[in-house]
Chain A
Amino acid sequence: MHARSLRHKTTEVKILTVEKLIYAIAITLGWLTLGAPTASAWQATEPPPAGEVHFNRDVRPILSENCFRCHGHEPKQREAGLRLDDRDAAIQYGAILPGDPAASLLVERIFEADADLRMPPVESHKSLSETQKELLRRWIAEGAEYEGHWAYQPPKAPPFPRCEPSISNQIDYHIDAQIHDLGLAPAPPADNVTLLRRVYLDLVGLPPPVDLAQRIAAEPNQDWYPAVVEQLLASPHYGERMASDWLDVVRYADTVGYHGDQNQNVFPYRDWVIDAFNRNMPFDQFTEYQLAGDLIENPTTESLVASCFNRLNMMTREGGAQPKEYLIKYAGDRVRTVSAAWLGTTLGCAECHDHKFDPFTMRDFYSMAAFFADLRQWGVYQDYGYTPNPDLRGWSNDHPFPPEIQVDVPYLHRRIERLSREATEHCRQAWRPADASPNLRAARDRWRNSLSEFLAAAPSGWRRVVPLTARDAKGEPLSLESAEGRLHVDRKGNEPVVLTLSTLYPIQSLRWNLLSHDGQSRTALPPPAGDFRLQLSLALVAGESAGKKVDIDFADAQPVRPRYANTHEILGVADNWVVPGDAPAGSSAVWRLAHPVHLTEGELLEIRIAGSLPPRFELQISPLVPDDLLSPDDWGIDLSAIDGDPLDANCQAWLARQATRAGVLGSDARARLHNIEADIRECRRGQAPVQISQPMEPLTTRVLPRGNWQDETGEIVEPAVPVSLRRDAAASEHRLTRLDLARWLTSPENPLTARVQMNRLWKHFFGVGLSPVLDDLGMQGQYPSHPAVLDTLALEFQGKGWDTKHMVRQMVLSAAYRRSSTPDARMQELDPANIWLARQNARRLEAEIVRDQALAVSGLIDLEMGGPSVFPYQPEDYYAHLQFPDRRYVASADERQYRRGVYMHWQRTFLHPMLAAFDAPSREECTAQRTQANTPLQALTLLNDPTFVEAAKHLALRGLGEAFASDGERIHWLVWQVLQRPASPGELHELTALLAGERTRWRANTADAKALLAVGLRTPPADVDIVEAAAWTSLSRALLNLHESLTRY
């Protein structure tokens, strides 16, 4: 009630109350029955509001919806030379005579009885209600005062009677005043568990831990709340939750969107956004880094990664696409994104004509586009004969989308470290020094002895070998020169060459060194030389295993010309080493064999070389494998120390690893190590490429008449922000840059950015923006329900360091946020749409969070952060209709299967069906507002998508792992897990009945039960009671399908 007591003039308020109540009803019902979502239109049967008419609140929506199209600022559209958007012009015309409605032409024409003369005209399909007409009349009678469009005016600090109240108090003051005036009472605070779940889902996108929920449930009051808020604001998962909104707005996705919809390298940008939210980077800096991270003084890796923002537009490499046309498409895409993301305006509508409603011209559009004309980019990212691109010579559909840089990815480094530890531990156990079997011990000893023998002969760990023969493909001998192991084969044309080797030493690695082509020069090839390919295959000849292919596990080389598959660099050179023509002498490749080769008497190893053959080279073998194939001389230990006794721990671990790799400790142990090592390699040394902004000499930007890219008659424009939003109209001294744009966006001069961000943030916590059309605060948007709140927030955000967490804190600490979302009868009657916020809005969780909560409550979730996108189960063949290149979806087969939704692979043309079903946008265009559908596809997904079935199974197994005295207790436990609240007696009854039925059913069909339990990667423990597990899985499925599971109340 404090807000009430704070009002200045209580008596006046009382009088106003009735009127405002009517006003509110009219607003509410008016919106529902007249339906124009942008206008606070009046229902015809309701009287207009008493008191002063406000232009922005009352009049502008009517004029904008019905009149401005023909009588607005756009001269080409203007009828009869009349404009009503400009007071002076309207007065001069005689349309408006302030204070004298009877003499105003406007009034005459809207009340005109003759339908042919009445405004708005029939063919416009617009019409004014009696109430609207009366309002216009009264507005003129009261002096016809105009106000600038609210969103284009600087935010105003609304009066507030107390000294330095917190922003959350101010929020409540304004909201409560409105509620009380309406005769509504605010809903009571949400109960403890509901509030806890709400604030968890809103701030970190995860349900609260059950033990915390149980503790909080017992709290007598909500004193615990501020501390929990602080804890969540400090959680790293806060950034993951907040990032999704922003990723929608900037249209972040893993693929380029046009035509072949190839992958693009952008995930480090996503990780940066998450991190920026976590670090609470001030929004002005956040803006600057994204728009101009490459232009700031001393760009850092971080600012360059952030500048990936400018590279998130859709891109093409379709054959026959015209580079120039696509550069225009990219420019339009950027203008639409920047104007929607920061300005909440539809400047993009001015591409072909001046804006119909807002004060933006085509010139504004192209001037905005000109900011981005300095970005290094290609209209078509490929080199076609008909559209040559000398920069991208030889590029294919598999190549990346430059410019890019390589960056360190903390996630990948963590993963490498973890996998390395796992490998070490695995090898240690495989070696089993303590209790090895006699066989294993013998094998180990044999291997060590042979290793010692080898090292005695080749202390460096590599032994040079000279082939016995060199032949062509038909078996004809070729001349083979060998001077101290430096080989040269006289080859005929491009025929394959076959070398044979004989050695008594085991071969685990084969090394190929390129030598100076003439013995003196520093290069391996006589310049000028193009790239050449070395393709190698191995087989055994002669002897027992003749004809047996020798498998290569992996090979790597330096230097190497990278090859790509769907934008990712292909790892290794096992099938093909593309050697750059300028490779220096001394370059080498190492082939690591899947199994060591022990040549027996008479056996030979055949090396077949296709592709090119370097002029001079040498071959080396080793029974060992370097840990890093790119540093083949670095064995990680002193090789002479391996015969020591006792061995030092390092040496021991090394030996265990080499022995495991060689299969000495069993084939299972070897296979497991090879898998771990492949996983490590996949981490690419902890680095990943990311697309960035790179400035160049700006291209010319012209106004394109009617948006036609082939028309070069338009005026040339320089970068500039929209004229109508500029306070200082003078032209700048220098050509403005993206950095200037970024600074202007967050300058005090710009009234939009802070409001737009705060409106969007409000929507995050209240379900609906204060101005509900999030992507348009312009004339056709909607007047805010609580302008004072929006302006208070905007001023605080702008004035106190663009501190996002501070604003979040103020919102969630407000009483308005903490209210129950259950309407009482009076609210349902007076404010069914909850415009005045007497209660919270319940809302369905966002697609990613629907996934996250199921994984979290089941215990499957992997809360690792960042890194390459992950691939949850997806129906087979979903990508069957994607080409250039063909696509195969491989679901993540390890813990990455259980990563959070924000890390899911985002394929623009075929978004994962689960994400699509729950209204996640394809992110082809800037999306500020996701739709909220409720469809049978959602039901099918929750019922049948393996992700949700596996979650149910895992939850059931977890429940069975706990000791309970009764089924009832276990059901209680389940409900706590899924809904973080106690089960009601009704629920207990229903679920108990279901359990009984399910037990009977599964007992009769254990094969079916096994099939159900086989869903997903995780297999149940061998000793599990199949019937119980399946029955409890059914219960868990029921709970995960409840509307409440998907809803934040």
Chain B
Amino acid sequence: MEPYEQLHSQLQRRTFLGRAGIGLGATALGILLRGESRGGGSRGGESWGRSLAVGGGPHAAVIPPSSGRAKRIIHLCLAGGPSQHESFDFKPRLQELHGQPFPESMTQGQQLAQLQNTELKARGSFAKFRRCGQAGLEISELFPHVGSIADEICVLRSLFTEQINHDPAHAFFNSGSIIKGRPSMGSWLLYGLGSESADLPGFVVLAARSRAGGAQPISARQWSAGFLPSRHQGVQFQTKGTPVHYLDNPPGVDPMAQRRLIDIVNRLNRSAADTRRDPELETRVAQYELAFRMQTSIPELADFADESPETLGLYGIQDPRDGSFASSCLMARRLVERGVRVVQIYHRAWDHHGGIEKEMPIAAGEVDQASAALVLDLKRRGLLDDTLVICVGEFGRTPMGQGSGRDHHILSFSGWLAGGGIRPGVAYGETDELGYRAVVNPLSVHDLHATLLHLFGIDHTQLTYKYQGRDFRLTDVSGNVVHDILG
């Protein structure tokens, strides 16, 4: 068999085990899975199969780990739809046309959101652009720090999507489909690659707090494992207070007491396993161990005391526990250092239908320094080579004005990538002269997904899961790897 066919059948086998929920004998399961893990660097039988961590636990990769450049991903989700016209896609012609009717020839028959039934007028960028880095990438002054790392990033200018409202657009960007119950890309990655952390979930989500207006709601389905086994779901860490629900011991119970309790629970469960012959009992024991490890390791993770003032300054962190985007970026670095495979940070301040000139600089101010700092910090720690950073919204905004702002736009939007095998210091794709539509190298969400998976060494057509009788994949039935942006 070709390696990928082998992979495919292995995946299907795991599919079956995960989905059937039938009580396999522990031994049979162990043997099967150990067989499957050959060459994958398993840490041993105990860490396999259903006795896995949240999000997969430490287990060998189905994909050989050396085959991709990227090992981890940090996804900065600028929720609400950041304007490309004030960030990465400068169009002199749009400036000239500012306030004039927008050419109907372009907009005819296209989908609009809140601009339905209104007169469409061009709106030039209110922000100035500068040429940054060796390649002279045009980046707006709202993002001076990102501009200063232009040589590290790959700017995408030709993204487009299919969904014009926030909720389905998030669903589409995260899962490649608008139908609920489909796995998010983080879950797919975890399903394909497993987790490298012994005491943390493999997929962590942070929702940053913001002082800016324009907040859009988000939904836990954006990090759902969908029909994949639920251990692959993202686990949301609260950015303030206890990071994980029910992580703290009950009041008055110290770690020693909790440990004693877990010990007796585990002993009683183990002795039941002898008579019950229920493999779930051993799994339960392992999960209680892992839960205890999480209880001890996460407070250490969340405590930034060992970070130098210089590092805090780099990110622009005022108060390490303020739940800000900056603190979340530093948390993301700490998470990937500890082997977490996927981190998503939501910053929900980008829905600028109105007041864009006032609100967008605030939102950009919260994101710019910290996102650039994250790239620099990863780089100086030698993590950038195999950590992919992606910064993008669920769609963009119209080159037409909507009062004092811009409406949702799906035919073009911008973002940037860094690390993880991405070619740095380049821009990919172009829109037309008004920034309305991606015309050179249009990049679909499925293309982006295919490329991301490729960076992890995964052929997007091969990472499948059988559900309701069909082999589903993140990229549905399309998606092409964009080799031009690979380093």
- Residue pair A833, B24 in contact (C-beta under 8 Å): yes
- Residue pair A916, B220 in contact (C-beta under 8 Å): yes
- B residues 230-286 near A (Cβ < 8 Å) are 230-231, 235, 238, 240-242, 244-254, 257-258, 260-262, 264-265, 267-269, 271-272, 275-278, 280-281, 283-284
Q: Say if the beta carbon of A1034 comes within 8 Å of chain B.
A: yes
Q: Say if the beta carbon of A357 comes within 8 Å of chain B.
A: yes
A279-323 CB mask vs B (1 if < 8 Å, else 0) is 000000000000000000000000000000000001010111110
- Residue pair A940, B167 in contact (C-beta under 8 Å): no
Q: Say if the beta carbon of A819 comes within 8 Å of chain B.
A: no
A918-940 CB mask vs B (1 if < 8 Å, else 0) is 01001011010001111111111
Q: Which of A37, A823, A828 contacts B16, CB < 8 Å? A: A37
- Residue pair A125, B8 in contact (C-beta under 8 Å): yes
- Residue pair A924, B180 in contact (C-beta under 8 Å): yes
- Residue pair A1012, B268 in contact (C-beta under 8 Å): no
Stretch at the interface among A256-264, A542-550, A891-899: A256-264
Q: Which of B217, B220, B264, B469 contacts A778, CB < 8 Å? A: B469
Residues of A close to B249: CB separation below 8 A: 943-944
- Identify which of B217, B251, B288 gathers the most chain A CB atoms within 10 Å of its CB: B217
Stretch at the interface among B83-91, B132-140, B290-298: B290-298
- B residues 161-188 near A (Cβ < 8 Å) are 164-168, 178-181
Q: Which residue of B lies closest to A939 (CB)?
A: B291
Q: Which residue of A lies closest to B19 (CB)?
A: A37
Interchain nearest-CB distance for A707 vs B (Å)? 10
- Residue pair B269, A909 in contact (C-beta under 8 Å): no
- A residues 880-905 near B (Cβ < 8 Å) are 880-884
Stretch at the interface among B113-121, B308-316, B430-438: B113-121
- For the complex with contacts A258-B168, A843-B21, 7 further pairs of A-B residues with Cβ separation under 8 Å are A259-B166, A832-B25, A916-B220, A924-B221, A933-B50, A990-B268, A994-B261
Q: Say if the beta carbon of A649 comes within 8 Å of chain B.
A: no
Residues of B close to A916: CB separation below 8 A: 220
Residues of B within 8 A of A (CB): 1-2, 4-5, 8-10, 12-16, 18-25, 28, 32, 50-51, 53-54, 109, 111, 113-118, 164-168, 178-181, 207, 215-221, 224, 229-231, 235, 238, 240-242, 244-254, 257-258, 260-262, 264-265, 267-269, 271-272, 275-278, 280-281, 283-284, 287-288, 290-291, 294-295, 346, 348, 353, 407-408, 462, 466, 468-470
- Residue pair B281, A1043 in contact (C-beta under 8 Å): yes
Q: Say if the beta carbon of A519 comes within 8 Å of chain B.
A: no
- A residues 701-730 near B (Cβ < 8 Å) are 710
Interchain nearest-CB distance for B292 vs A (Å)? 8
Bound Cα distance from A835 to B271, whole angstroms: 27
- A residues 5-27 near B (Cβ < 8 Å) are none
Q: Which residue of B lies closest to A994 (CB)?
A: B264
Q: Say if the beta carbon of A1041 comes within 8 Å of chain B.
A: yes
Q: Say if the beta carbon of A1001 comes within 8 Å of chain B.
A: yes
- Residue pair A768, B20 in contact (C-beta under 8 Å): yes
- Residue pair A931, B265 in contact (C-beta under 8 Å): no
- Residue pair A842, B254 in contact (C-beta under 8 Å): no
Residues of B close to A934: CB separation below 8 A: 50-51, 280, 283-284, 287
Bound Cα distance from A678 to B113, whole angstroms: 43
Bound Cα distance from A261 to B217, whole angstroms: 9
Residues of B close to A131: CB separation below 8 A: none
Q: Say if the beta carbon of A870 comes within 8 Å of chain B.
A: no
- A residues 976-1002 near B (Cβ < 8 Å) are 986-987, 990-991, 994, 997-998, 1001
Residues of A close to B15: CB separation below 8 A: 35, 37
Q: List 11 A-B contacts (CB under 8 A).
A: A322-B165, A357-B470, A832-B25, A834-B22, A835-B22, A881-B217, A933-B230, A937-B246, A940-B247, A990-B268, A1012-B253
- Residue pair B288, A911 in contact (C-beta under 8 Å): no
Q: Say if the beta carbon of A513 comes within 8 Å of chain B.
A: no
Residues of A close to B269: CB separation below 8 A: 1042-1043
- Residue pair B113, A33 in contact (C-beta under 8 Å): no
Q: Which of B221, B252, B295, B462 contacts A1008, CB < 8 Å? A: B252
Residues of B close to A772: CB separation below 8 A: 20
- Residue pair B280, A1047 in contact (C-beta under 8 Å): yes
Interchain nearest-CB distance for B487 vs A (Å)? 29
- Residue pair A259, B217 in contact (C-beta under 8 Å): yes
Q: Say if the beta carbon of A356 comes within 8 Å of chain B.
A: yes
Residues of A close to B216: CB separation below 8 A: 883
Bound Cα distance from A664 to B22, whole angstroms: 67
A805-833 CB mask vs B (1 if < 8 Å, else 0) is 00000000000000001110000100011
- Residue pair A38, B284 in contact (C-beta under 8 Å): no
- Residue pair A937, B252 in contact (C-beta under 8 Å): no
- Residue pair A34, B221 in contact (C-beta under 8 Å): no
Q: Which of A346, A832, A1007, A1009 contacts B469, CB < 8 Å? A: A346
Bound Cα distance from A991 to B12, whole angstroms: 44
Q: Which of A261, A386, A1042 contacts B265, CB < 8 Å? A: A1042
- Residue pair B287, A939 in contact (C-beta under 8 Å): yes
Q: Say if the beta carbon of A58 comes within 8 Å of chain B.
A: no
Supposing A38-B469, A924-B181, A1038-B261 touch, asked if A1043 and B272 sit within 8 A by C-beta, the answer is: yes
Interchain nearest-CB distance for B55 vs A (Å)? 9
- Residue pair B164, A322 in contact (C-beta under 8 Å): yes
Residues of A close to B254: CB separation below 8 A: 1008
Q: Say if the beta carbon of A804 comes within 8 Å of chain B.
A: no
Q: Which of A348, A910, A932 contacts B220, CB < 8 Å? A: A910
- Residue pair B287, A909 in contact (C-beta under 8 Å): no
Q: Which of A261, A841, A880 contacts B23, CB < 8 Å? A: A841
Residues of B close to A986: CB separation below 8 A: 268, 271
- Identify which of B28, B113, B283, B469 gathers the most chain A CB atoms within 10 Å of its CB: B469
- Residue pair A1005, B276 in contact (C-beta under 8 Å): no
- Identify which of A878, A941, A1044 gathers the most chain B CB atoms within 10 Å of its CB: A1044
Q: Give the 6 A-B CB pairs with smallest separation, nearest first.
A: A780-B469, A320-B113, A35-B13, A1011-B252, A909-B219, A1008-B252
Supposing A321-B165, A913-B245 touch, asked if A127 and B22 sit within 8 A by C-beta, the answer is: no
- Residue pair B53, A936 in contact (C-beta under 8 Å): yes
Q: Which of B221, B268, B291 contacts A940, CB < 8 Å? A: B291
Interchain nearest-CB distance for A765 vs B (Å)? 15
Interchain nearest-CB distance for B227 vs A (Å)? 8
Bound Cα distance from A1047 to B54, whole angstroms: 20
Supposing A768-B22, A933-B229 touch, asked if A822 and B219 sit within 8 A by C-beta, the answer is: no
Q: Say if the beta carbon of A603 comes within 8 Å of chain B.
A: no
Bound Cα distance from A32 to B111, whole angstroms: 48
Q: Which of B116, B179, B258, B267 contacts A943, CB < 8 Å? A: B258
Residues of B close to A884: CB separation below 8 A: 217
Q: Which residue of B lies closest to A941 (CB)?
A: B246
Q: Which residue of B lies closest to A336 (CB)?
A: B179
Bound Cα distance from A997 to B256, whole angstroms: 12
Interchain nearest-CB distance for B112 vs A (Å)? 8
Residues of B close to A102: CB separation below 8 A: none
- Residue pair B288, A1014 in contact (C-beta under 8 Å): no
Interchain nearest-CB distance for B194 vs A (Å)? 15
Interchain nearest-CB distance for B310 vs A (Å)? 31
Interchain nearest-CB distance for A815 vs B (Å)? 20
Residues of B close to A357: CB separation below 8 A: 469-470
- Residue pair A822, B275 in contact (C-beta under 8 Å): yes
Supposing A35-B9, A1038-B265 touch, asked if A936 and B250 sit within 8 A by C-beta, the answer is: no
- Residue pair B220, A911 in contact (C-beta under 8 Å): yes
Q: Say if the beta carbon of A205 comes within 8 Å of chain B.
A: no
Residues of A close to B115: CB separation below 8 A: 386
- Identify which of A32, A884, A991 gathers the most chain B CB atoms within 10 Å of its CB: A32
Q: Say if the beta carbon of A618 comes within 8 Å of chain B.
A: no
- Identify which of A778, A841, A990 gathers the most chain B CB atoms within 10 Å of its CB: A990
- Residue pair B165, A318 in contact (C-beta under 8 Å): yes
- Residue pair A346, B5 in contact (C-beta under 8 Å): no
Residues of B close to A33: CB separation below 8 A: 13, 32
- Residue pair B230, A35 in contact (C-beta under 8 Å): no
Bound Cα distance from A60 to B219, whole angstroms: 41
Q: Which residue of B lies closest to A844 (CB)?
A: B280
Bound Cα distance from A828 to B268, whole angstroms: 23
